[in-house]
Amino acid sequence: MESVLLSLQIAALATAISLLLGTLAAIAVVRGSFPGREAIATFLVSPLMLPGLVLGIAMLQYFRMLGLREALPSLLLAHVIVVLPFVMRTLTAGLSLFDFALIDAARTLGLSYPRAVLRVMVPVLAPSFITGALFGFLASLDNYPVSIFLTDVYHRTLPIQLLQYLSESPDPTVAAVSSLIIALTVVVLIIGDRMVGLNRMAGV
């Protein structure tokens, strides 16, 4: 249960931070016309293109170089980097079809820019926010290749704990938890397809 609670805590925090950063980045990429826009968009989703072990080793060395040795902050930062590409791709797909003239219209009716975003853009893009959050949450919850390098004996996420159970004393708990994670992934895929569309999320 300690591993489950730790994984849920890290996944929730990483998803919330990624939603904020991913929304700002997606708006900049979709609306901006600055040089290097495509390069920045590619950089933000590049963790999806790298093997997990390579990403985990790179983060471990970089965090140690910065003097960050505590497990919890390291895990949270690493999971934000893992989750951000999922949120970024989903929100970019949603924003590409959003009419930003609606925000301008709301501002002419007396709303400030932040309130116009909250009252107009957020409700319209709610499916993208929900789908991106679900995918990001799952990506963090079942992440193993990155977490294995950043955990310690006191802080073990659920996948690390499952691997330990599997190597030391296999029991039906491992199969049950794995089945639940697989079922949850299938549910999120169905929700993502209904709300946003898997082709749009993949950029097809």
Q: What tokens appear for 194 in the block?
A: 């209904």
**pTM for this structure?**
0.78
User: Taking a C-beta distance cutoff of 8 angstroms, is the pair 132, 90 a contact?
Assistant: yes
DSSP character for 117? I
User: Taking a C-beta distance cutoff of 8 angstroms, is the pair 96, 34 a contact?
Assistant: no
- Closest by CA position to 187, among listed 151, 179, 119, 54: 179
> How far, in Å, CA of 14 to CA of 148, rounded?
17
Assign domain 2-201 one CATH number from 1.10.4030.10, 1.10.3720.10, 3.30.565.10, 2.40.50.100. 1.10.3720.10
Please give the backbone phi and psi of residue 15, each rounded to the nearest 5 degrees, phi first: -65, -45
pLDDT in tens, the chain (204 residues): 787 888 888 889 999 999 989 888 888 888 877 777 788 888 888 888 888 888 888 888 888 888 888 888 888 898 999 899 888 888 888 888 888 888 888 888 888 888 888 888 888 888 888 888 888 888 888 888 888 888 877 778 877 887 777 777 667 777 787 788 788 778 877 876 776 665 655 544
